[in-house]
Amino acid sequence: MKPSMHTSFALASCCILAPSALLAQTPLFSDAPAATKAQESAVAADNSSLAQATPHLHSIIQALPLDTQRFNEHIIVLSSPWMGGRLPGTPGMEFAMDYMEYWLKRAGIEPGVPSSDGSPATFRQAFDLGGRRVAKDQSVSITPTAGAAFSLVPNQDVQISGLGKEGSAEGALAFVGYGIEEGPEGYTSFSADHSLEGKIALCFRFEPMNTEGKSLWSGEGWSAQAGFQGKLAAIAKRKPAAIVVINPPGAADPRATSLNTSGGRAIVDVPVFMMSTDAAERVLAAADSKSRSVMELRQEADKGGASFDLAGATASVAASYEEKKTRAENVIGLLKGRGTLASEYIVIGGHLDHLGNGDFGSREGPGRLHPGADDNASGAAGVMIIADDLAQKYAAAPTDANLRSVLFMGFSAEESGLNGSRHYVEHPLYPIKDTVLMMNFDMIGRMTKDRLSVTGANSAKGMLEWAKPIFDRGECTVVINEAMGSGGSDHASFRAAGVPFLFGIIADFHADYHTSRDVSELIERESGMKAVRLWEDLAWEMAQRPERFVFDDQSGPMRGTQIRVRIGMRTRDAEDGSGLEVSDVTKDSISDKAGVLKGDHVVKFNKISIKTREDLVNELRKLEPKGEVQVVITRAGEEKTLFLKLGDE
């Protein structure tokens, strides 16, 4: 808890979120006692200045039931620019966790994470997300033969990349086009009589492109030549002192505006820098004796290759980086049960994190805020509402009632591979063997015709029979999904640990998934609340059910289950132990359409880590031929996320 941050957050949120009646009146963070629903209703009705400003919106919001208003507000806040797309390790994610913690507390939920040293329990279960290289001490300066030397601004003009080593270099400048050894029709970026030795080699990112900034060599996206691996290796072979990769002007790829390179093992032995188009313009103005612009150099390189010295200036570059561990946290709250069932647990969870600015996992590339309103502000909002309502039900139940304990969880780092939920099941705070049901929400905000897909009803014997009447009396049209792997979300971690589960997600996918267009304006609030009420009904019934559910092994890897999807990708375990390699892609297959190329390595499938062919086959067995599945591959040293469309909706 950081009180100062909470204060400023409460103030700023009021400004940003003026249309929201309740938020304008209810500080997000205060120690004031929880208002009753009647008080809140009075507050909303009283908000006359807002009513005057936006009479129409106000009356619509006010006409909604209070829990729907609250659901709406949770989603608006969590998907606001304030939260920065909720990337683990960022201030935005910190705000999101504070927000969820605040609302759990307000509902009367206790901190769910006991301390090991006797200090009070907290709502945060921390874990390491692994190392990330962060640049430090970067300096790049250009010394023209005529005129004054100048420096470039680190992280804005230029940034060291993890694709190379740290270090420093000083030398003449040379230009090597796209750094491509051998392209179609004899294309090469290297002039035979030109040496790069000891020089600072400048090259363009990607590959020759047309006037629209699209590849000349590939119908869709870039060809394998565009990757870093090939060009950096081809340049490094010629022994430069450092390599600078310039973002080419006019490229139809959002990465061309970013200095970040994803993935990150060093693939060459010299420092590698990324440079913005703007900075390259300044460098060229000083260094190119022919006074060409960056665009003119690009157009020359588009036509054919030639490398040459930029003799008008020398450069000196230096940089180091440090390994920074990203710390992520799951938010966990506890509603204590009582009587004979108190030592059994129900987990109600949903992931709180999303993609930040789309640096990974995005369908449109980085550079824009990915608000994640449906994915998964909607599910997290549902968890907060259920916490509030169940706490009231527990308080109102007879003192001698037998009620299970309930854990409310906002998982972190789901998008990067179910890291938060996996950490929980590997480091459980309450016995996994007594965790009798995990209920996961991931995307409930954009249902079509109230259609909610529910997976896992067959993960315990008798569960479907028990749940069916509850499904039937609910307001959603429940679409039972018998494939156990569908969705690739946090329930998969609990399933792997042998916990019966129910997973709710919109039954019909939308094209805004994992894009900057997943915004709160498009949320179907009333429909989403139907899913929330259904989950709450199930949880309340389960809280009192005398018998527990026992996990049904059938939902394990399901050996012998037929694979029902044909993805058109042949794979083999790479001989060098580097993982699962794509050995062939069938033309016009799902994989072909998604952009999978021969030679790619599959590292994740449906958010599950893939190391061997068997891993992939197990995941394929769990799928039904509908919806989409996310595949993370590495190509030429860079990680890429692709989406396989399994069927038409």
The residues that touch Zn ion, with contacts defined as CB under 5 A, are 375-376, 442
Enter the tokens of residue 105: 């507390």
Shortest distance in whole angstroms from residue 414 CB to Zn ion: 6
Tokens of 505: 């997600």
> Considering the complex, what minimum distance in angstroms separates the CB of residue 488 from Zn ion?
8
Residue among 302 and 375 whose Cβ is closer to Zn ion: 375
Q: Are 18 and 80 in contact (CB under 8 A)?
A: no
Report how far residue 631's alpha carbon sits from residue 405's, in angstroms, rounded to the nearest whole number.
36
Q: Between 174 and 506, whose beta carbon lies closer to Zn ion?
A: 506
The CA–CA distances, whole Å, from 299 to 1, 178, 232, 283, 304 equal 54, 11, 21, 18, 9
CB 513 to Zn ion: min, Å: 9
Kind and range of the H or E element at 602?
A: strand 601-605
Q: Among residues 333 and 445, whose Cβ is nearest to Zn ion?
A: 445
611 with 571: CB under 8 angstroms?
A: no
Amino acid in the structure at residue 340: T
- Tokens coding 280: 């390259």
d(CA 271, CA 232): 11
Contact 479, 453 (CB under 8 A): yes
The C-alpha atoms of residue 405 and residue 381 are separated, in whole angstroms, by: 20
Output the six-digit token pair for 202. Answer: 């400048």
Neighbour count for residue 52 (Cβ, 10 Å) = 9
Nearer to Zn ion, 198 or 417 (CB): 417
Q: Which is nearer to Zn ion, 375 or 450 (CB)?
A: 375
Question: Of the two residues 157 and 490, which places its CB atom closer to Zn ion in the complex?
Answer: 490
- The distance of closest approach from Cβ of residue 531 to Zn ion in the complex, given in angstroms and rounded to an integer, is 14
Min dist CB 408 to Zn ion, Å, is: 17
Name the residue among 152, 169, 504 with its Cα closest to residue 349.
504
Contact (CB, 8 A) for 16 and 9: no
What the block records as the tokens of 383 is 């968890």
Nearer Cβ to Zn ion (600/628): 628
Closest CB to Zn ion among residues 215, 376: 376
Which of 73, 442 has the CB closer to Zn ion?
Answer: 442
What are the residue ranges of helices labelled H in 545-608?
A: 590-594
Q: Compute how many other C-beta atoms are within 10 angstroms of the C-beta atom of residue 312.
A: 20
How far is Cα 20 from Cα 18, in angstroms, rounded to an integer? 5
* Residue 417: CB minimum distance to Zn ion, A: 12
d(CA 534, CA 608): 28
Q: Name the token pair of 76.
A: 């608006």
Minimum CB–partner distance for residue 362 and Zn ion (Å): 13
Report in angstroms how near the CB of residue 510 gets to Zn ion at its nearest: 13
Alpha-carbon Rg of the chain, whole angstroms? 27
Q: Minimal distance in Å, beta carbon 514 to Zn ion? A: 9
Shorter beta-carbon distance to Zn ion: residue 294 or 644: 644
What whole-number distance in Å separates Cα of residue 578 and Cα of residue 556?
Answer: 26
**Closer residue to Zn ion in complex, CB, 61/418:** 418
Q: How far is the CB of 326 from Zn ion (least distance, A)?
A: 19
Q: At its nearest, how many Å lie between Zn ion and the CB of residue 637?
A: 27
